[in-house]
Amino acid sequence: MKKNLLILGAGQFGLTVRELAESVGFFEKIDFLDDNNKIAVGKLTEYERWLANYPFAIVAIGSSTLRSEWTRRLEETGFEIPTLISSFAYVSPSARLGAGVIVEPLATVQARVSVGRGTIVSSGVVLRHDAAVGDFCHCDCNSVVASGASVPSATKVEIGEVFRFNRKAQGCGNVANRE
């Protein structure tokens, strides 16, 4: 099997994902699909024709809605969606990460954390023990998800934000309190 990766989206985040994918050292060739960037080998709508040469594909688009939609299309076509983890990040052996998760340098994913499909964990993020981050979220730089908190799918935790469990809402499950 070829170890080639196709990245959907060649913008600033796409370039970051390419550097991360290169640093992993698994992929032999990495290229982009993008509708508006000259470095791309093709347009997004041409994704199906690339499957034979690029069995791996990941979506590097900031919008959670678009990331979700394109990930679904890729999976239905037969692409394998990798999880990319920087060697400069810490991910606990008991953490569970879904397909298409991107963990950037200096992020920390502690014990028993679950991270849903297609989620971006940016540089400096701390996901504290027993937290749950839903599908297609973005925990932006230096944000913190507190122990036991649950971040709903498609949520963006902003730069420097603390997303925590609201202990005052007794019996209501994990109710978010954002600071």
Domains held by the chain: number: 2
Distance of alpha carbon 55 from alpha carbon 152, whole angstroms? 30
CATH of the domain at 46: 3.40.50.20
Q: Which residues contact 41 (CB under 8 A, 6 or more apart)?
A: 31, 32, 33, 50
- The answer to whether residues 25 and 70 belong to one domain is yes
Which domain, by its residues, includes 58? 4-77
Q: Write down which residue in 29, 54, 77 finishes a domain.
A: 77
pTM (two decimals): 0.91
Residues 89 and 175 in one domain: yes
Cα(24)–Cα(109) distance, integer angstroms: 18
CATH number at residue 90: 2.160.10.10
Residues 23, 70, single domain; the answer is yes
Q: How does pLDDT run across 77-121, given as a tens digit for each residue?
A: 999 999 999 999 999 999 999 999 999 999 999 999 999 999 999
- Alpha-carbon span 100 to 146, nearest angstrom: 23
Residues 171 and 152 in one domain: yes
pLDDT at residue 128 greater than cutoff 60 = yes
**Strands of the sheet with 4-8, listed across from one edge:** 29-33, 4-8, 56-59
Same domain flag for 88 and 159: yes
Residue 60 has pLDDT above 90, yes or no: yes
Give the tens place of pLDDT for each residue, 25-54.
999 999 999 999 999 999 999 999 999 999
